């Protein structure tokens, strides 16, 4: 294979990925905007009443959970007080100890039982919607009185039946789903942060 043909092939692969992402994002806006609004309202309400958000997922979804928790703890676009958020997958000692002693499906639910209180928001992320530890954690969260949000793919999986709000990216391809999830997360950060800052400004005026 010549360098020229390799370049042509790489160009086509790159073009297909970018075009596929653009098309999926366009469908995502139409399919998921109502769910995103409900999720933003739930997170805003929790923060304004002194509660927190708990994120969790595996693999790439774990990275998204950590990323979004960091956006709330630090800042997204506006200067503000930190908003309490925890990514349950980041404590490797807890995850591995619970997985070893109780089973991997309990890695997040056991942490929720220790850290969550009624009025918090649980955000589970799973591209398939079937990750056992994410599904169990969402079931546990509802039993504890948390509002539950699920980010998943088009089929929804088992997550579809155990959350208050389902944000289902309109794709069955893991890369496209993950791209929609981080877009959803950033959009939620922006909406929630703006609402919280506006509310705090009104309270101080």
pLDDT of residue 183: 97
Q: Is the pLDDT of residue 2 over 60?
A: no
What pLDDT band is residue 87 in, cutting at 50, 70 and 90? Answer: very high
Are 39 and 167 in contact by the 8 Å Cβ rule? The answer is: yes
Are 130 and 157 in contact by the 8 Å Cβ rule? The answer is: yes
Domain residue spans of the chain? 3-204
**Residues 90-140 pLDDT 10s:** 999 999 999 999 999 999 999 999 999 999 999 999 999 999 999 999 999
What pLDDT band is residue 200 in, cutting at 50, 70 and 90? Answer: confident
Architecture of domain 3-204: 3-Layer(aba) Sandwich (3.40)
Q: Is the pLDDT of residue 203 over 80?
A: no
**Residues 130-174 pLDDT 10s:** 999 999 999 999 999 999 999 999 999 999 999 999 999 999 999
């Amino acid at each position: 294979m010549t360098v020229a043909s390799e370049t042509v092939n790489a160009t086509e692969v790159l073009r297909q990925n970018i075009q596929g992402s653009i098309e999926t994002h366009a469908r995502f806006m139409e399919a998921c905007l109502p769910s995103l609004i409900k999720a933003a309202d739930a997170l805003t309400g929790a923060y304004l009443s002194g509660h927190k958000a708990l994120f969790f997922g595996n693999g790439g979804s774990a990275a998204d959970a950590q990323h979004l928790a960091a956006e709330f703890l630090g800042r997204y676009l506006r200067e503000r007080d930190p908003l309490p958020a925890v990514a349950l997958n980041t404590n490797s000692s807890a995850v591995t100890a619970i997985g070893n002693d109780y089973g991997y499906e309990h890695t997040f639910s056991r942490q929720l039982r220790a850290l969550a209180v009624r009025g918090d928001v649980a955000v589970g992320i799973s591209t398939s919607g079937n990750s056992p530890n994410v599904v169990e954690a969402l079931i546990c969260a509802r039993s504890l009185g948390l509002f539950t949000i699920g980010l998943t793919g088009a089929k929804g999986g088992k997550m579809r039946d155990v959350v208050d709000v389902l944000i289902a990216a309109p794709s069955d391809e893991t890369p496209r789903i993950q791209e929609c999830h981080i877009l959803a997360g950033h959009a939620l950060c922006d909406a929630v942060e703006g609402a919280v800052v506006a509310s705090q400004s009104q309270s101080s005026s």
